[in-house]
Amino acid sequence: MSERTLVLIKPDGVERGLVGEVIGRIERKGLKLVEMDLRRVDRKLAEQHYAEHDGKPFFESLLEFITSGPVVAAVVEGPHAISAFRQLAGGTDPVGKAAPGSLRGDYGLEVQYNLVHGSDSVESAERELKLWFPELQA
The burial class, CB within 10 Å (0-12 / 13-18 / 19+), for 24 is exposed
Residue from 58, 60, 69, 109 that binds ligand CMP (CB under 6 A)? Answer: 58
Q: Cβ 95 to ligand CMP, closest distance in Å?
A: 13
Q: Which stretch binds ligand CMP (CB under 6 A): 13-21, 31-39, 96-104, 110-118?
A: 110-118
Should residue 92 be labelled a site residue for ligand CMP when binding is judged by CB under 6 A? yes
Strand partners, 9: 72, 116
Should residue 16 be labelled a site residue for ligand CMP when binding is judged by CB under 6 A? no
133 annotated as a binding-site residue: no
Q: Which stretch binds ligand CMP (CB under 6 A): 39-47, 75-83, 111-119, 122-130?
A: 111-119
**Which residue is nearest to ligand CMP, using beta carbons?**
58
Find out whether 72 and 38 touch, Cβ atoms under 8 Å: yes
The burial class, CB within 10 Å (0-12 / 13-18 / 19+), for 67 is middle
> How many residues of this chain interact with ligand CMP, rule: CB under 6 A?
8
| Residue with Cβ nearer ligand CMP (99 or 138) | 99
Beta-carbon-side half-sphere exposure of residue 33 (alpha carbons within 13 Å): 15
4 annotated as a binding-site residue: no
Q: Which helix (H) or strand (E) holds 77?
A: strand 71-79
For the chain, how far is it from start to end, CA to CA, in angstroms? Answer: 20
Residues annotated as catalytic (active site), given as ranges = 117
Which residues are near ligand CMP by CB under 6 A? 53, 58, 62, 92, 111-112, 114, 117
